[in-house]
Structure 1
Amino acid sequence: MSHTHSRTDPAAAREAAGPAAGPAGRHVVVIGGGIAGLAAAHRLAGSGARVTLLEASARLGGKLHADEIAGVPVDLGAESILARRPEAVELAREVGLGDDLEPPAVLGAALWTRGRLRPMPKGHVMGVPGDLGPLAASGVLSAAGLARLPLDHVLPRTGIDGDVAVGAFVAARLGREVVDRLVEPLLGGVYAGNAYEISLRAAVPQLFTAARTERSLITAARAVQARAAVAAGAGPVFNGIRGGVGRLPLAVADACRAAGVTIATSAPVRELRRTGPHGWQVRLDDRALDADAVVLAVPAPVAARLLGAESPAAAADLGSVDYASMALVTMAFRRAHLDRLPRSSGFLVPPVDGRTIKASTFSSRKWGWQDAAGGDTVVLRTSVGRHGDEGDLAWDDTDLVRLSREDLGEAVGLRAAPVAARVTRWDGGLPQYPVGHVDRVARIREQVAKLPGLAVCGAPYEGVGIPACVGSGHRAAREVLGTLVERGEGGAGE
């Protein structure tokens, strides 16, 4: 393992040094200004560390991005927070957004499949049914697909040896139609991925655990639902934030600054090197920073590049993480033009149906705050692209709007022209969790743990949702704080 001595000037080195014992005064550099990095910086600052956060782009927030269209506030990235995991909701309250948390309207969702919109059946776990009644009533499956389901109760147990793809396992128990019509669109909505590649253990861990003990997958799904209902109590499953979930990273950044965190945007890190048994040097284009610890809150390819010299094994695993690209098409319409829109929050589209769009959200119907803010203007959006099916992303923005409108016309009869439209492209936006991903993450963490004062966090590791990323940032903060406490007296690069 190579070590490079600090090349900063003495004044910069003294500034980076922390004279006090434990985390107080210690300098931690957080690389990456998405919600995971911001959550880590917020926790570190609250523990007394001196924190610098560096973001390569000109904007904080990563995949959370609040903006506006036709004067209406919108999210151009993720728009909801899973409320059954507490980390993100708790963080929102800590930074002053507690009163702005708002669940979506209770309207239900639909599937555009087999030629028309059909209600999303209730009683499932990521598309795996625990209750066959709502599924039969929805019309999502053909008669042959429904007739296949009871075999799950008499088939021998399907063994799970370590890990298995969601699609392969569900198809073996319930038939391919359940995967193609239900599991695929739901998993695609989270990962923009392919159910026949995504790991059951990584993507649906509760179902993975239950399926290893129950002979029937339907029974396993029912057990997972029952446990989730008890854990959730009467609270909402999801929450939004008035004005957009994209307000969350900005509020966290404000809280970080108030706590003394130095935040720099348009500050790409070019090199990361150890400067001794404990110290680190972070090199940018025009300067270098010495640090007692570093948190890497960046996409896997960036982490692989930065760790190439210090941990080739971790870099190799990080470099193997694949990503999906997608685009969100956000459109504003006059309210009168959407008065015949179905009373739902939107719909998902199974890839097997061969449409351009993979989903549509009736945003102004889903979020009361957006409906109230819009006045005569209502907003909806579509998503295009998923892993292995990104050809439509080659179209330019105008064509993506056109193709989205064509699908919407066929799905819900929408013929009006939007008064405004925006296309937001998330190139390489969502890490994929294929079979073996959990073991890959364990290997990465094992290698990173060999480098004192280094931690990683973000979507490539334990979940792509906002609470998972916040929790990942908090875990990284705990890890580096633990090493600083253990180290005791001394400063950066000691």
Structure 2
Amino acid sequence: MQRSTNRVDTGTGHVVVIGGGIAGLAAAHRLLATGLRVTLVEATDRLGGKLMTGDIAGTQVDLGAESMLARRPEAVDLARAVGLGDRLQPPATATAAVWTRGELRPMPKGHVMGVPGDPAALGGVLSPEGLARIAQERDLTPTAVGDDVAVGAYVADRLGREVVDRLVEPLLGGVYAGDAYRLSMRAAVPQLFEVAREGGSLLDGVQRIQQQAAARRQTGPVFQGIDGGIGTLPEAVADAVRAGGGEILTGTPVLGLTRTTDGWDIRTDTRVITADGIVLATPAWSASTLLAAESPAASVELAGVEYASMALVTLAFRRSDVAATGALDGRSGFLVPPVDGRTIKASTFSTHKWQWVADAAPDLFVLRTSVGRYGEEDHLHREDTELVDVSLRDLAEATGLAAKPVDTEVTRWIGGLPQYPVGHLTRVARIRDEVAKLPALRVCGAVYDGVGIPACIASAHRAADEIAADLAGEIIATPTLVQGTRSEAGQ
């Protein structure tokens, strides 16, 4: 491959993005808008990472992430930029439940990731003893948090373990598949961390958060999906990258990185690609391996990042069978506290939650369960049929559903979600400090600034903008997003 000799002056520098998940794709998309030449390489034959659609009973559904936070702009803006604006669709219902103490109970309102501002909202979910423990909180002395603290430890100290076990755990588990007693409050729930640092009553602090949110109340939905599945976003971004002149290579594992006198050599299984800059958008273990020679300190830090694995069990029933049992109402699904000892940790009623699923399969009822969390991954070694059977047993106990599915699909996400233990953000700062010592190389993805789709895209934009600035020798203004080949009308 011929190397550009005028990369800074002409704006034709070549950047290689390693990793074809949504972060890598977003980075490639952003880099093209600055006038740089881009090659994206992905080790597998599929783009999108944990964003993936698949077939269930002849209907396309999400088999990975199914929604994106709309109150942050990055993901929605990217979807619009690549021609999916007309397909954005909020959930048809956001009414969820908690399966606890043997019953499906309405998810309490007025909380911040399970931490209440008003204990009265938790009746039925917590015991009378648990409610009484919360009532003592304003009389407690302030709890020191230092530079960071585990969410579960802090909330249990202020409000009692029952709040953590019945509400905080299942809600955080739905995002991180993690353990609330290990998860960093500073990284996972920064609003609560700021309240904790101020000292005083946690209940009063949550009420202040809610009042501030009400004062700046945004219109529009909190979450958005995409008609056809969130899993359609990666290919739309890939189409835009190709349309903008970018090259995408799948089935191309990167085996090593080497600094040269004027850039980088990227060694794949078939060739060496020369580049002026690199965006490393891979999981921590892969980034650790690739940086071992050029940044041993960053490599060691990345090697210390732990991951949780999980499985999604997607089930399709005849809608008439579900209706006949009266088993499911209009809820979007339910969460399951680990303390109750169930196998499934959540269930989403896709047909209720997403109108596009209901419209695409009017004779079917589609739902899915999730199994596995950090430290509880033995279930993932079961056969697919076992995971289906245990999901059906838990569903029957929770909802009374006795129907047999007409189709099933089990999707395993091994090493799916990085864990954010206490001190995680300090680790991330150390990684970025070490990586910044390398010329025109940056990292991005779920490891660094959040596991949600908007957070991954934001980290990709940060990496792309810093690389562009490095190659230009100056700070580059925020670029215009590259338009995709699909129009807003879906043409």
Pairs within 5 Å for 1:331-370: 331-339=315-323, 340=326, 341-370=328-357
In the other structure, the counterpart of 1:8 is none
Go from structure 1 to structure 2 and tell me whether the alpha carbon gap of 1:201 and 1:143 turns closer, same or farther (over 3 Å shift).
same
Structure 1 residue 214 displacement after superposition: 4.3
In the other structure, the counterpart of 2:485 is none
CA contact (8 A) 1:327 1:424 kept: yes
Instruction: Tell me the C-alpha RMSD between the 2 structures.
Output: 1.3
TM-score between the two structures when normalised by the length of structure 2: 0.94
Q: Deviations over 1:402-453 (max 9, x none)?
A: 0000000000011111100000000011000000101000000000000010
Matched, 1:306 2:290: yes
In the other structure, the counterpart of 1:4 is none
CA contact (8 A) 1:35 1:466 kept: yes
Pairs within 5 Å for 1:1-150: 12=1, 14=2, 16-17=3-4, 19-22=6-9, 24-136=11-123, 139-150=124-135
CA contact (8 A) 2:143 2:199 kept: no
| SS at 1:447 equivalent | helix
Go from structure 1 to structure 2 and tell me whether the alpha carbon gap of 1:18 and 1:412 turns closer, same or farther (over 3 Å shift).
farther
In the other structure, the counterpart of 1:492 is none
CA contact (8 A) 1:84 1:232 kept: no
Structure 1 residue 228 displacement after superposition: 3.1
The one of 298, 317, 327 equivalent to 2:301 is 317
The one of 232, 244, 248 equivalent to 1:263 is 248
Counterpart CA distance in 2 for 1:332 and 1:350 is 25
Q: Deviations over 1:138-177 (max 9, x none)?
A: x110010000001111101111111110000000000000
Counterpart CA distance in 2 for 1:281 and 1:153 is 60
| SS at 1:233 equivalent | coil
| SS at 2:16 equivalent | strand
In the other structure, the counterpart of 1:176 is 161
Matched, 1:222 2:204: no
Counterpart CA distance in 2 for 1:35 and 1:305 is 21
Structure 1 residue 22 displacement after superposition: 4.8
Structure 1 residue 230 displacement after superposition: 3.8
In the other structure, the counterpart of 2:479 is none
**Which consecutive unaligned segments of at least 5 residues does structure 2 have?**
476-491
Go from structure 1 to structure 2 and tell me whether the alpha carbon gap of 1:308 and 1:447 turns closer, same or farther (over 3 Å shift).
same
Pairs within 5 Å for 1:81-480: 81-136=68-123, 139-276=124-261, 278-339=262-323, 340=326, 341-480=328-467
Q: Deviations over 1:334-374 (max 9, x none)?
A: 01122220220000000000001000000010001111111
| SS at 2:266 equivalent | strand
Go from structure 1 to structure 2 and tell me whether the alpha carbon gap of 1:485 and 1:175 turns closer, same or farther (over 3 Å shift).
same
Counterpart CA distance in 1 for 2:205 and 2:10 is 45
Aligned residue type for 1:333: F
Aligned residue type for 2:374: H
CA contact (8 A) 1:324 1:387 kept: yes
In the other structure, the counterpart of 2:489 is none
Structure 1 residue 20 displacement after superposition: 4.4
Q: Deviations over 1:15-55 (max 9, x none)?
A: x3253435721100000000000000000011110000000
Aligned residues: 472
TM-score between the two structures when normalised by the length of structure 1: 0.94
Aligned residue type for 1:198: L
Counterpart CA distance in 2 for 1:197 and 1:419 is 40
Structure 1 residue 208 displacement after superposition: 0.6
| SS at 2:198 equivalent | coil
Structure 1 residue 231 displacement after superposition: 4.0
Counterpart CA distance in 1 for 2:103 and 2:359 is 30
**Which consecutive unaligned segments of at least 5 residues does structure 1 have?**
1-11, 489-494
Go from structure 1 to structure 2 and tell me whether the alpha carbon gap of 1:273 and 1:20 turns closer, same or farther (over 3 Å shift).
closer
Aligned residue type for 1:287: R
Structure 1 residue 68 displacement after superposition: 2.1
CA contact (8 A) 1:22 1:486 kept: no
Go from structure 1 to structure 2 and tell me whether the alpha carbon gap of 1:63 and 1:18 turns closer, same or farther (over 3 Å shift).
farther
CA contact (8 A) 2:322 2:401 kept: yes
Counterpart CA distance in 2 for 1:94 and 1:191 is 28
Go from structure 1 to structure 2 and tell me whether the alpha carbon gap of 1:280 and 1:305 turns closer, same or farther (over 3 Å shift).
same
Aligned residue type for 1:247: T
Counterpart CA distance in 2 for 1:261 and 1:223 is 47
The runs of 4+ residues in structure 1 deviating greater than 6 Å are none
Aligned residue type for 1:217: L
CA contact (8 A) 2:169 2:337 kept: yes
| SS at 2:186 equivalent | helix
In the other structure, the counterpart of 1:7 is none
Aligned residue type for 2:282: V
Structure 1 residue 106 displacement after superposition: 2.7
Structure 1 residue 232 displacement after superposition: 4.5
CA contact (8 A) 2:93 2:330 kept: no
Go from structure 1 to structure 2 and tell me whether the alpha carbon gap of 1:251 and 1:230 turns closer, same or farther (over 3 Å shift).
farther
- Calculate percent identity across the aligned residue pairs: 63
Go from structure 1 to structure 2 and tell me whether the alpha carbon gap of 1:115 and 1:439 turns closer, same or farther (over 3 Å shift).
same
Counterpart CA distance in 2 for 1:21 and 1:305 is 29
| SS at 1:235 equivalent | coil
Aligned residue type for 2:360: A
Q: Deviations over 1:207-226 (max 9, x none)?
A: 11122114111122222223
